[in-house]
Chain A
């Protein structure tokens, strides 16, 4: 996709170069760490080097006397600062265990990185030095590093809870036992969806500053300034109206900045206590301990089908490693996938159990896709395993079992209604682009030749649910917030507008896309639209950016606010043109009287007339500004077909992606360049999981992949050029016809790649390769298969 000349009509659906870029490419961005108020104190958190221990003493006296140090506090010192524990937003079951989680621990440390004390100094370096002088004594306890061990409840992470089982959730529908008994074929597998570290390239940072007029401003590298404001107000006891939260330029999130973190609460509490600005920026290695991880599921799966390849049932028993504490959406992350195990297939029976388990590791939470990558990986891997069992082409099995285009809207077995979709169209396009049949022929040739480099073809015909979410649906699931989104349009006297959005972009290009939506709706030049966000003093209302929700809900709110502006302007136009409102037509920014095209006012004319307010209808206020709060009626269900051709060197275990083709259907598209970028980045993260990334703990609970040296975030040299295309089946749940796109690539790509790797090795008897499919894991899989065969 290359940039094109501006067409004469319409911005929606066209490439518009991003308004965001100017400051980013010239080094003029405002990252949180760039903000250093006068008199700022640097905060350093003293963290546990042990995974699990009783804290027998914390002595900050030497640190307090160190040069440059202003204060140092233990967990006990700050115990009164907290009105309540850090929040967990989703009560997933009535008896879910929600142990308290305070910004500094007092009794016990529960993971390497758990905060025990805090040091404040006049320079970054002084704080770093002084933190080393804090004397903490520990009485070590055994680490709990895997869920099987944790579920024995021999060592408890939270003693008061009496168990490491945080919750168990069960769902079934259809006659599961009967369907599985009568099925011609049942395939069972245990798959491991390993622990990942999100690694937004901007580390987390926070600056909390007291305002001279009272109240506080908190700058944070966060995806959720609005949610952060209300939660920090509650945790720290600051009246909400006296707390302003600003998400300045934010360097990526992927879920890792979708949280209420200890350091955010500490910075605010200490700004309250000392009356001085407090600043904290994590180092990358610190962040690898203190910022949430993702995934970490053990999946015991079973798929049932008829002998001709029609899928009839799916069972999933999921053990989710939650880590040591509940962060904001720790409990809910596996649940966000709970409804998606059946994916695009028409099942007769489905059975799901999710067990959330505490361990002595960094908490897990929502990482790009949050639950849906896990579910999609499970079903898409199992469909390939089923096809292999049946000796069928895996695409053939899918075609026999998926929801046909004419069956939409479709009520799924998990109670969702998929509003639209066209799996046939996306698949046909992807297969043609990929050259599926030709690659299958090459694969056969290499198998016949006994080539040491085998070719595998992996398929992922994914769908997902995103656009969190209808508030009533969330309420019925005991999610403690709504899913609406807000937009305001301010009409300025010269006919320029400011769009204020409740979404909080950190790379997604909302400023550009929202400008396109508003410009088209109001018939204004694209340049005449400014989009403001990420500051609660400007954008007072919002639910922020995560879960691929921003466009389908926030973009919709912009569109809706524009309709309200038009409705008002129409009445002013009728008044000014001395016509009946029913005779006023609006097109391309101009109101005209039906039948007399010369009688017309532009929206700019009306903006100025309303500003002057000399002549307007009796029953109106002289204002065109409007706001809209949109609560979506349904989730959004993007889908697509991703195909991967991977070469696997059977001697070295090395995997190389040769082709990667993705055809995504994200409904109507506002800016194809931005959408394509989201897909590229999403695929890269999913491929990262498939091939390279894993957060590894040793038996003592130490994170052995504790920095970017050991945790392999893929570089340009590790990835191929992804080939992307789209089909466009509009969503019916919003007037723009749009679906989410932010997570689609990540959700789709992991199973496509792993299916390709397993497919390459299948003639050797391999039926799974544990992720990441590194040379070592490939080699182990070959060894295991051949040992088993011998």
Chain B
């Protein structure tokens, strides 16, 4: 067992973990932060995507011990206020990507969504105005079986426009 100190969504946790424990298992099974999902065992699906020190990673490819001393941001910490539990005003505190996935219908079952949004957030950090092609290639590591990606791509570009300060929608 190894001692780790990891800051997840703004809270610092200290735990004894097995060296082989994956970061995603640490988040889900140890911390009970189940907003981050697992969709595969070969690091192909991207459902587990989080930010490690600000950069997008598949949390099933990182050991918890490797995240010792690091900052991890998950979907659960993305909204500026707790946006869970309703419609209307609840969306006000959401990240533009969360709002755009909602308005553009970029999710169906929603299982890929936390990873997809976290991957998209990092994509937009690097490229604030991606073309359709750039979004498609940028999200290549995140699989969605429901949407056919059309509305995911739209949502990412809509959020990008909002993040650039452009007028969106109406």
Contact = CB atoms under 8 A, between A and B. Distances in A.
Nearest to A286: B41
B45 A284 contact: yes
Given A25-B98, A25-B113, A124 B29 contact: yes
Contacts of A681: 108, 145-148
Interface stretch (A13-21, A114-122, A132-140, A594-602): A13-21
B29 A715 contact: no
Contacts of A202: 37, 39, 109, 111
B145 A200 contact: yes
Interface stretch (A27-35, A227-235, A417-425, A632-640): A27-35
Contacts of A506: 109
A36 B134 CA distance: 40
A618 B129 CA distance: 69
Interface in A669-709: 673-674, 676-678, 680-685, 707-709
B127 to A, nearest CB: 15
Interface in B125-170: 132, 135-137, 139-153, 169-170
B41 A284 contact: yes
A203 interface: yes
Interface in B65-117: 74-76, 78-79, 82-88, 90-91, 94, 98, 101-105, 107-114, 117
Nearest to A27: B35
A613 B148 CA distance: 52
B2 interface: no
Contact of A715 (B79, B109, B139): B139
Interface string B32-69: 01111111111011010000000000000000000000
B16 interface: no
A723 to B, nearest CB: 9
A684 B85 contact: no
Interface string A287-321: 00000000000000000000000000000000000
Contacts of B137: 716-717
B18 interface: yes
A24 B87 contact: no
B136 A677 contact: no
B40 A707 contact: yes
A17 B103 contact: yes
Nearest to B88: A527
A509 interface: yes
A747 B44 CA distance: 27
A661 B137 CA distance: 22
Nearest to A29: B110
Contacts of B98: 25-26
Contacts of A18: 102, 105
Nearest to A721: B150
A494 interface: no
Contacts of B44: 707-709
Contact of A527 (B28, B33, B87, B141): B87
A23 interface: yes
A784 B55 CA distance: 49
A576 B117 CA distance: 54
A22 B91 contact: yes
Contacts of A27: 33-36, 74-76, 78, 114
B83 A26 contact: yes
Nearest to B29: A124
Contacts of B102: 17-18, 21-22, 25
Contact of B42 (A2, A708, A716): A708
A201 B146 CA distance: 9
B148 A31 contact: no
Contacts of B79: 26
A3 interface: yes
Contacts of B141: 715
A722 interface: yes
Contacts of B85: 22-23, 28
Given A18-B105, A26-B35, A252 B87 contact: no
Count chain B CB atoms within 10 A of each CB in A19, A33, A200, A680 and give the residue with the most. Answer: A680
B73 to A, nearest CB: 11
A21 B104 contact: no
A709 B42 contact: yes
A507 interface: yes
B111 A201 contact: yes
B68 to A, nearest CB: 20
Contacts of B41: 283-285, 707
B53 to A, nearest CB: 20
27 contacts: A20-B110, A22-B87, A25-B94, A25-B107, A25-B110, A26-B75, A26-B78, A27-B34, A27-B75, A31-B37, A36-B29, A200-B109, A201-B45, A201-B109, A201-B145, A251-B110, A252-B111, A284-B40, A285-B42, A677-B148, A680-B147, A684-B148, A685-B145, A707-B42, A708-B45, A713-B143, A721-B150
Given A680-B148, A684-B149, 10 more contacts: A2-B104, A25-B110, A28-B76, A29-B111, A31-B37, A201-B45, A201-B109, A508-B108, A715-B139, A719-B136
Q: Which 5 A-B pairs have the closest CB atoms?
A: A27-B35, A251-B111, A24-B110, A507-B109, A684-B148
